[in-house]
Amino acid sequence: MKIMVSMKRVIDYAVKIRVKADKTGVETTNVKMSMNPFCEIALEEALRIKESGGASEVVAVSIGPPKSADTLRTALAMGADRAVHVTTTAPTVYPLTVSKILSALADVEKPGLLILGKQAIDDDCNQTGQMVAGLLRWPQGTFASKVVLDKEKQEVTVEREVDGGLETVCLSLPAVITTDLRLNQPRYATLPNIMKAKSKVIKKVTPEELNVEINTDLEVLQVTEPPKRKAGVILSSVDELIDKLANEARVL
């Protein structure tokens, strides 16, 4: 069985982002970019399944400008076998288009599992996994914190993080899984593997070749900074805190 993992190049999670003065978006020039943290977890899970004998091949996929190849190279250095780069110059590719592209690739690659992160930390959408599962009519295991594959039965059991606890579902393959933070701890790429990754193949395709039209039913009107909270005060004692909460803020 083959596992396909989808990944996104985003502003590094540790960067304090700046909103552009003209309100058209967030400053991305000269800003450190990395693989979306949830995508790292998705790749790690695919690699672990492969290492335990559950899969024969891990294919990494990314959609975006030429620079997205860096993210795929990182994936190859972590242990993915090969990569597919869907190249586009569109400034924004929304989840509906991404899911159509992934669904078209799934038709070609025929993976048994498609693993994605639960959300990208730039647009915070949390949609792509669910949407590609819908398009493919495959079952979905979102917000996964535990994944157990049963190759014999062609089933995967997914423990999901839901409001108020954990839910367990059993999905027949092929299936889509999206990863939550606690699923695993992603590995670092070692230097020998980074060297080896240079000889691995990144295949390039375009959305047009996959017969997918870039959908534009959304238009960003503006991006602004959130309202600032007014500066607070540092108090000197618990007594003062209780007094302020009771008499000034009136929340006690």
Partner 1 sequence: MRKRTISSVSSYLFSSTSIPCSMRRLISTLVLGEHKGGIVKPSCLSAISAAGSICNDNSISILLAGSGPSLQKAASHAASSHPSLSQVLVADNDLLTHPLAETWADLVHFVQQKEKYSYIITSSSSFGKNILPRAAALLNVSPITDVIEISDPKVFTRPIYAGNALSTVRYNGLDPCMLTVRATSFATPTLSLKESNSTFAAISQVDLSEFTQETFGKSKWIKKSSPNTERPDLVNARVVVTGGRGLKSAENFKLLETLAGKLDAAVGATRAAVDAGFVANDLQVGQTGKIVAPELYIAFGVSGAIQHLAGMRDSKIIVAINKDSDAPIFQVADYGLVGDLFDVIPELLEKLPVD
Q: Report the nearest approach of partner 1 to the CB of residue 227 (Å).
A: 9
> Is residue 210 at the binding interface for partner 1, with CB under 8 A as the rule?
no
Q: Is 122 in the site for partner 1 (CB under 8 A)?
A: yes
Is residue 76 helix, strand or coil?
A: helix
Residue where the block lists tokens 């990494």: 60
Q: Do residues 60 and 68 make contact, with C-beta atoms less than 8 angstroms apart?
A: no
Least separation in angstroms between CB 175 and partner 1: 8
Applying the rule CB under 8 A, the residues between 40 and 99 that interact with partner 1 are 94-96, 99
**Of 218, 202, 216, 217, which Cα lies nearest the Cα of 86?**
202
Q: Please state the closest distance from residue 190 (CB atom) to partner 1, in A.
A: 24
List the one residue from 89, 211, 232, 247 that touches partner 1 (CB under 8 A): 232
Residues 6+ apart with CB under 8 A from 219: none
DSSP 34: E
How big is the site for partner 1, counted in residues (CB under 8 A)? 79
Per CB under 8 A, 133 contacts partner 1: yes
Which CB atom, from 191 or from 238, has the smaller least distance to partner 1? 238
How many residues are recorded in the chain? 252
Looking at 157, 187, 196, 210, which residue binds partner 1 (CB under 8 A)? 157
Measured distance CA(144)–CA(181) in Å, rounded: 8
Nearer to partner 1, 55 or 177 (CB): 177
Least distance (Å) from partner 1 to the CB of residue 109? 19
d(CA 243, CA 106): 61
> How far is residue 79's CA from residue 47's CA, in Å, rounded to a whole number?
7
CB of 58 to partner 1, least distance (A): 23
Contact status: 162 vs partner 1 (CB under 8 A): yes
Choice from 28, 130, 154, 193 touching partner 1 (CB under 8 A): 130
Q: Which two tokens stand for residue 57?
A: 């091949």
CB 147 within 8 A of CB 156: yes
Is residue 161 within the footprint of partner 1 (CB under 8 A)?
yes
